[in-house]
Amino acid sequence: MWVPQLSEFNQPVYLSIADALARDISNGVLNEGDRLPTLRELATALSVTPGTISRAYSEAHRRRLVQGEVGRGTYVLGQKPLEPLASNSAAPLNLGHAELLDLSIIKPSSETLEYWLRDALVGMAKSTDFARALDYAPDGGHPAHREAGAQWLRHALPDAQGQQVVITAGAQHGLMVAMSALTSAGDLVLCEALCYPGIISLAHGLERRLRGVPMDDEGIIPDALRELCLREKPAMLVCVATCQNPTTAIMSPKRRAQIAALAEEFDFIILDDDIYGFLATDPSIKPLSAFAPDRSVYLTSLSKAVMPALRIGYLYSPPKLLSRLSSMVRSSVWMPSPLTAQLASNVIGEGLDKKLIRIQRNEAAGRQAIAREIFANFELKAQPYSYHVWLTLPEPWTSDEFTMLARANGVLVLSGTQFQAERSGSTRCVRLVLMSPTSQDELRFALTKLASLIDSDPRRYY
């Protein structure tokens, strides 16, 4: 079995494997038609994940070194590998990995997801319940899919009932459904002063007035929320109480109770966006909506916890709001895909969701350790299992100029200004997503580049 000899490298492992493959083809170690090891065989031999090998083989395929045949494996091609462009060519010379290292999108680690997804898809196709995925679904979703959603919700809301679940096409669609159905054009919608940019674009697109509530290390400050409510009447508060995006803040139970009491006092609806609830350090803390169940809508989805391809979200609502939410789903997309909802239901019913959550939490903890090591001398906000960190840059950096320079150096991050509910000037914070890189080696490489950039004087670039 071919096992590459990896030399010392300052690049992601999968690129080193692809380079070793090119070298061994050039040296005659591998010949046309040779069958390469399976993903799992080579992953075991190199003590890496199958996802790393998959990405290495994909890179080798891009270079025309190998070809894959379904059911047969991966084979060495006969033609010569791609040669670098001549130095006098009009096109630029590619001296390595041209792709940007993307630390801008929050998503679960993808190294093993394809294997789980394949099995889940095959299992769904063989399921006796498959027929329900091929037809129209009733308002709110098929009863079996709603019950699966309730099962998923019970990790946070133990008494969740399927009748109170409304299925959406992901969490962003759930935000749109709730805001559209439960507020009107011109209404005041509150959120954290630093919030997920999708909330900002959605509120403005729906012609709602958006106001950011000042925050501290736990998130929204109750006294600041009260002050806003005394001046104006909000219709809704959108809040991420666990692993808040971007600050990673987690509200204490006391803070959640205070926010819920203000919702009762000033008669507004809480949209409890708990998409990162499964990453909580203390799972016993109840969701924000549990403190005001009659005036809260709980929102979650599977895309962050299980896999991005599962664009299925769940709204859990008091009975009095169900018809409005279901009607808005019908008005916006008619119905979320029953095929995807069936796949999500199978994943939940078979317990695969719990297995993948354990995998993602363990992976996040490992990546957080890397971030803490590399940024030990900087101000960093994080949680043990959060997918991202909130980094404060030292002076004289600003987040916008650092983001531009990071991109110029091959790394994508998001500037803190993109998270301001109300554009309020410059900031020195950036959000770094730890789970997007394929491997921990690739993450370390990207974070090391960023730390080196921070240590330099920004004035040298101008």
| pLDDT band (50, 70, 90) for residue 46 | confident
Does 382 fall in a domain? yes
Count CB neighbours of 34 within 10 A: 14
Low-confidence winner among 95-104, 170-179, 246-255, 442-451 (lowest mean pLDDT): 95-104
Is the confidence at residue 233, as pLDDT, over 70? Answer: yes
Note if the pTM is more than 0.85.
no
Both tokens of residue 164?
């109170």
Better pLDDT: 54 or 378: 378
- Residue 232 predicted with pLDDT over 60: yes
Looking at the fold, whether 279 and 404 belong to one and the same domain comes out as no
Q: 327 with 455, same domain?
A: no
Instruction: Name every residue whose Cβ is closer than 8 Å to that of residue 255 and which is 6 or more positions away in sequence.
Output: 218, 219, 220, 222
Say how many domains are in the chain. Answer: 3
Are residues 298 and 158 part of one domain? Answer: yes
In a domain, 203, yes or no: yes
Boundary of a domain, candidates 334, 350, 366:
350
301 and 178 in a common domain: yes
Residues 6+ apart with CB under 8 A from 88: none
One domain, residues 173 and 156: yes
Per-residue pLDDT tens over the stretch 285-303: 999 999 999 999 999 999 9
Could you tell me the maximum CA-CA distance found in the chain, to the nearest angstrom? 77
The confidence score (pLDDT) of residue 402 equals 93
**264 lies in some domain:** yes
Give per-residue pLDDT as tens, 351-396: 888 988 998 999 999 999 999 999 999 999 999 999 999 999 998 8
Instruction: Kindly state the helix (H) or strand (E) to which residue 188 belongs, with its residue range.
Output: strand 188-192
Same domain, 153 and 259: yes
Pairing state between β 379-381 and 313-316: unpaired
What CATH number is attached to the domain comprising 19? 1.10.10.10
Helix (H) or strand (E) holding 230: helix 222-231
Q: What percent of the chain has pLDDT over 70?
A: 91
Same domain, 175 and 203: yes
Q: Is residue 171 part of a domain?
A: yes
Q: Do both 204 and 259 map to the same domain?
A: yes
Mean pLDDT of the chain: 88
User: Stretch 245-270: mean pLDDT, rounded?
Assistant: 97
Distance CA 452, CA 462 (A): 17
Reply yes or no on whether the pLDDT at 98 is more than 90. Answer: no
In the prediction, which pLDDT does 95 show? 33
- The pLDDT > 90 percentage for the chain reads 61
Could you tell me if residue 431 is inside a domain? yes
Whole-angstrom Cα distance, residue 77 to residue 67?
6
Residues 339, 361 within the same domain: no
- The verdict on 71 and 24 lying in the same domain is yes
Give the span between the Cα atoms of 239 and 224, in whole angstroms: 14
Residues 161 and 303 in one domain: yes
Domain holding 395: CATH number?
Answer: 3.90.1150.10
Q: What is the pLDDT of residue 350?
A: 87
> Does residue 278 fall inside a structural domain?
yes
In this structure, is residue 95 part of a structural domain?
A: no
For residues 149 and 287, membership in a common domain is answered with yes
CATH code, domain with 131: 3.40.640.10
Query: Considering the domain boundaries, does residue 82 fall inside one?
Result: no
Average pLDDT over residues 429-433: 97
Distance of CA 457 to the CA centre of its chain: 32
Last residue of one domain, picked from the residues 350, 373, 404: 350
Phi, psi at residue 390, to the nearest 5°?
A: -115, 105
Distances (CA, A) of 435 to 330, 438, 444: 34, 8, 11
Strands 219-220 vs 296-301: parallel, antiparallel or unpaired: unpaired
Task: Please say whether the beta carbons of 1 and 43 come within 8 A.
Answer: no
Task: State the residue range of the domain holding 157.
Answer: 126-350
- Among residues 316, 334, 350, which one ends one of the domains? 350
